[in-house]
Amino acid sequence: MLQIVVVQRGDTLYKMAQRYGATVDEIVRDNGLDASLPLVIGQSLLVNTTGNVYYVQPGDSLYKIALTYNIPLQTLAKANNLSLKTMLQDGQRLYIPKGTKRSAESIAYLQPTSIPIKESLLNATRALSPNLTYLAYFSFEAKRDGTLNEPTSLAPVLDIARQNRVVPMLVITNLESGNFSPEVTKILFNNPTLQNKFITNVLETAQKYNMQDIHFDFENVRPEDREPYNQFLRNVKARLPQGYTLSTTLVPKTSSAQKGAFFEAHDYKAQGAIVNFVVIMTYDWGWQGGPPQAVSPIDPVKQVIQYAKTQMPASKIMMGQNLYGFDWTLPYKPGNPPAKAVSSVAAVSLARKYNVPIRYDYSAQAPNFTYYDENGSQHEVWFEDSRSLQAKFNLMKEQGIGGISYWKIGLPFPQNSRLLAENFNIVKKG
């Protein structure tokens, strides 16, 4: 049975395999490890335990374990002769009855940085695609004249989607010169003739590439264009070919009255009624230009999801999940050079290089550590690991939402696919 464990001082792959009844080869494979490198104190690993035995880890509760393994809380307690109020002890052995996985949809965004697309990025896409419902190529850019700036080198991505029964998404943005342009959306929303031309171009492009979901990621839209944006989506929906779906990206909100140009044009209630599903960007509380903190702390993410459920069916909600973290140079001051983005693999490598332990913030449900570089500068790193990801999967189950959306492919996180498949039956539509 697969479970998450945490490396302690003195642990080796051999010792962990012995302790949990796994093999070194299994641990290396499931975690994408280099067996020649030492483990890092505080590093989280996936291990296969013998039979249906689970070893209690720090921060565990019966409720959390029941969610993780898709079983009723009462069933778990009864199987172990425990009361629902039992306080678990680290290392305690539990028997886990067989659970029933629920279905979920999954999206991953692909943002090539070179043409032709690097083979490493295509390989990462191939590896994740068996556990994807949708593949989102970022992006087709809307232009002021109602045409689309189309990316090149689509063929290999579309081939991967077809081979893995993944629905390709036509992701349309209002990016102009690298920034989200409120002027582009203003023109397209408020000029009926131009809008009609634009929708025609969008639909023809979707059919040309057989991209069966049309997705609008319009950000930094003017607050006064809130209703014009809603009407635009209604107009697109009215012209959708049979079998095609419509979706949008939403910024994270916790109130319909939330103020600020970033938030006001994104109408959760209206868009939830119009489109088939929404992707909510539940990340970037910790961001490159801000102070060090978790990128997607669990409580703020939960608050956004709970608000969204008051505005639309839970089944339409796709929770955004970052596959990156950040490395900040301290002391943080506004206007500092931006923090450096790091993958989960790169973060663990940094902790190993500078011989520092990884901590876990149970409030934010996120791993972090600090280190001093060769120049004597202190750094603080927050990233994602299997524990923080499992916390998000448990939130999805608890809130009954439709699925998850990853930003973005190419940031190595070897444990993700295995953990996703252990938690959910991924819907295939392609």
**Averaged pLDDT for residues 193-209:** 98
The answer to whether residue 118 scores a pLDDT higher than 90 is: yes
The answer to whether residue 233 scores a pLDDT higher than 80 is: yes
- Catalytic positions: 219
Q: How confident is the model at residue 153 (pLDDT cuts 50, 70, 90)?
A: confident
Torsion angle of alpha carbons 17, 20, 26, 29, nearest 10°?
-90
Instruction: Give the Cα separation of 180 and 281 in Å (integer).
Output: 15
Q: How confident is the model at residue 28 (pLDDT cuts 50, 70, 90)?
A: very high
The answer to whether residue 272 scores a pLDDT higher than 90 is: yes
Q: Which helix (H) or strand (E) holds 172?
A: strand 167-173
Instruction: Give the Cα separation of 115 and 224 in Å (integer).
Output: 38
Both structure tokens of 430? 């392609």
Domains along the chain with CATH numbers: 2-95 (3.10.350.10), 102-323+401-426 (3.20.20.80), 328-381 (3.10.50.10)
**Averaged pLDDT for residues 45-53:** 94
Closest CA to 207 of 243, 249, 159: 243
**Averaged pLDDT for residues 60-84:** 96
The answer to whether residue 212 scores a pLDDT higher than 90 is: yes
**Averaged pLDDT for residues 412-427:** 96
- Secondary structure (H, E, C), 76-114: HHHHCCCCCCCCCCCCCEEECCCCCCEEEEEEEEECCCC
**Averaged pLDDT for residues 68-89:** 95
Q: How confident is the model at residue 73 (pLDDT cuts 50, 70, 90)?
A: very high
List strand residue ranges (DSSP E) for 187-338, in order.
Answer: 213-217, 245-250, 277-280, 317-322, 325-329
- What is the rounded average pLDDT for all residues in the chain? 97
**Averaged pLDDT for residues 29-37:** 96
The answer to whether residue 135 scores a pLDDT higher than 80 is: yes
**Averaged pLDDT for residues 98-121:** 94
Is residue 134 a contact partner of residue 244, using CB atoms and an 8 Å limit?
Answer: no
